[in-house]
Amino acid sequence: MKTNFRDIQKIIDHIEINFDREITAHEIESISYYSYRNFQRIFFKLFNETISGFQKRLRLENAYKKLIYTEDSLSEIAWQVGYFNIQSFSKAFKKQYTVSPAEARKQKQDIFKEFIESHNADLKVEIKYKDAVSVYCKFIKAKDYNNAEIDVLWKEIEPDAELFEAAYGIIRDQPLITSHSHCRYGAAVTSNEVISGLVKNEIFGRKYAKFTHQGPYENILETYRSFYQSWLSGEKFLLDNSDVIEEYETAEITHIYFPLYE
């Protein structure tokens, strides 16, 4: 059977949304139209990890983000990501990151230290609610959000400049937590017509901390550094572990939306 990207992306989206519980073979077969065994093979070939390993990693990565972004208790976070007791959560977390959840929370500044070291935080941040937007998107694994891989994806989706009314980047992972080889980037565009090879999805629909990068996209990390420096220095809001959205207004202006904890 020929691998169908839309089917693959559909089941991956389902696994990501339901990362905090066991996904049954019946669910995967009914959504993907593949046998569970065949889909396991395809999934491992694409991502170099098993479905259960992928889910476990998502649970722990989301837990790590909650630990550093929010003030939720350890037991609340354990329950939110699918662990029914703090002991099993702490054991799995320490095995993955070599520190306990409590230690990870205390060491929040250390996680960002090298990334933002000696960086001047001069950035205007505003709190803004963004209405939901329907988009067509495609995700890739972009090692450490490598610009070259992202450029190739955009040339595939939008070979001619400004073909679509609006374009967005979906930053699904936190590269200071997620292994660089597993970082996922989604290119998303708005369209009134179905776009072959892309999956329809919805972005925004909540409150964000918005800031703007001005200049070439290859320098965007400097703006992220400014944001984290500002946030760690005492911004009075909590972040969420959901997707960060980049809105591409022009080649030199990118608005960045960090989801706020609700």
Residue pLDDT, tens place only, 10-57: 888 888 889 999 888 898 888 877 888 998 998 898 888 999 999 999
Closest CA to 177 of 96, 254, 253: 96
151-201, pLDDT tens digit by residue? Answer: 999 998 887 766 788 999 999 999 899 988 889 999 999 998 888 888 899
Q: What confidence score (pLDDT) does residue 180 get?
A: 85
In percent, how much of the chain has pLDDT > 70? Answer: 95
- Is residue 38 within 8 Å of residue 1, measured between CB atoms? yes
Question: Helix crossing, 51-69 with 86-97: angle to 10°?
Answer: 100
Where does CATH 3.20.80.10 sit in the chain?
Answer: 126-259
Residue keyed to tokens 């891989």? 149
How much is the pLDDT for 22? 87
Topology of domain 126-259, CATH: Multidrug-efflux Transporter 1 Regulator Bmrr; Chain A (3.20.80)
pLDDT reading at 74 higher than 80: yes
Report the pLDDT averaged over residues 219-241. 89
Residue 262, pLDDT > 70, answer yes
What CA–CA distance (Å, rounded) separates 215 from 71?
34
Cα–Cα separations (whole angstroms), residue 162 to 153, 157, 208, 212? 15, 11, 26, 20
Which residue type, as a one-letter code, is found at position 114?
E
DSSP state of 261: P
Confidence check: pLDDT of 3 > 60: no
Q: What mean pLDDT is predicted for residues 226-232?
A: 90
Query: What is the arithmetic mean of pLDDT over 208-219?
Result: 94
Closest to 165 measured CA to CA, from 138, 193, 201:
193
What gap in Å lies between CA 210 and CA 110, rounded to an integer?
24
pLDDT range class, residue 93, cuts 50, 70, 90: very high
Distance CA 137, CA 169 (A): 9
* Per-residue tokens: 176: 């200071």
Determine the Cα–Cα distance for residues 110 and 106; give it in Å rounded to an integer. 9
The pLDDT value given to residue 118: 63
Q: Is 182 left (phi over 0), alpha (psi -120 to 50) or beta?
A: alpha
Q: Which residues contact 29 (CB under 8 A, 6 or more apart)?
A: 35, 36, 39
CATH 1.10.10.60 in the chain: give the residue spans. 5-109
Better pLDDT: 176 or 7: 176
DSSP label at 184?
A: E
The second-level CATH assignment, the architecture, of 5-109 is Orthogonal Bundle (1.10)
